[in-house]
Structure 1
Amino acid sequence: MGNNNKHYFYVLQCSDGSYYGGYTVDPERRLAEHNGGKGAKYTRARLPANMIHLEEFGDKGEALRAEYAFKRLSRHQKEQFLKAGELNAQSE
């Protein structure tokens, strides 16, 4: 298996305003799965969901660590993380 596989950590904003963090190798397919009711149990009751953050990693472990770290944050910390991501994207 080559090292050209891409791994992603993503954040969805659900219809109730809550956030869901996850891991995937195919962000478009994963978002379609969530919005088709085939994603995580958490998101099924909170559709539609919008992908508001996406980070690419070189290996699965890094992406899963990012997901784990995000899930441990408080709501306020998640909002700060997402706001910082927007600022970084605008400055690129």
Structure 2
Amino acid sequence: MAWTYILRCGDGSYYVGSTRDLDRRMTEHYAGMGSAYTSDRMPVELVWFMETSHIGEAYALERKLHGWSRPKREALIAGRFDLLPGLAKRRTSSSDD
């Protein structure tokens, strides 16, 4: 088992991570030893998490969420899955001009 998670930092930013042991990792984050990013932005709050079957899957999801916009992450956190497709990055082609 493994986990992908999102923290809301004290400065309002989000941190996305993955781990094999969510309880241990959260203890580290809450103590200011989770990462250089979060330790400079205390306090942190766990706002979303998802269990996966293995760490490779958790890490792949983490990488995917890193590419998401803030509004898309906030829709995920709020459980507004219906909004996710509309928040996907739009690509424009030269034929759209």
Match of 2:29 in 1: 34
CA RMSD in angstroms, aligned pairs only: 1.8
* Correspondence for 2:41 among 40, 46, 56: 46
Larger Rg: 2
TM-score of the aligned structures, taking structure 1 as reference length: 0.80
Deviation at 1:84, TM superposition (A): 2.3
2:9 counterpart of 1:14:
yes
Instruction: Report which structure shows greater RCO (CA 8 Å, sep ≥6).
Output: 1
In structure 2, do the counterparts of structure 1 residues 85 and 67 end up closer, same or farther at CA, with 3 Å as the change threshold? Answer: farther
2:80 counterpart of 1:82:
no
TM-score of the aligned structures, taking structure 2 as reference length: 0.76
Residue ranges of structure 1 left out of the alignment (5+ in a row) = 1-5, 88-92
- How far apart, CA to CA, are the structure 1 residues paired with 2:12 and 2:70? 11
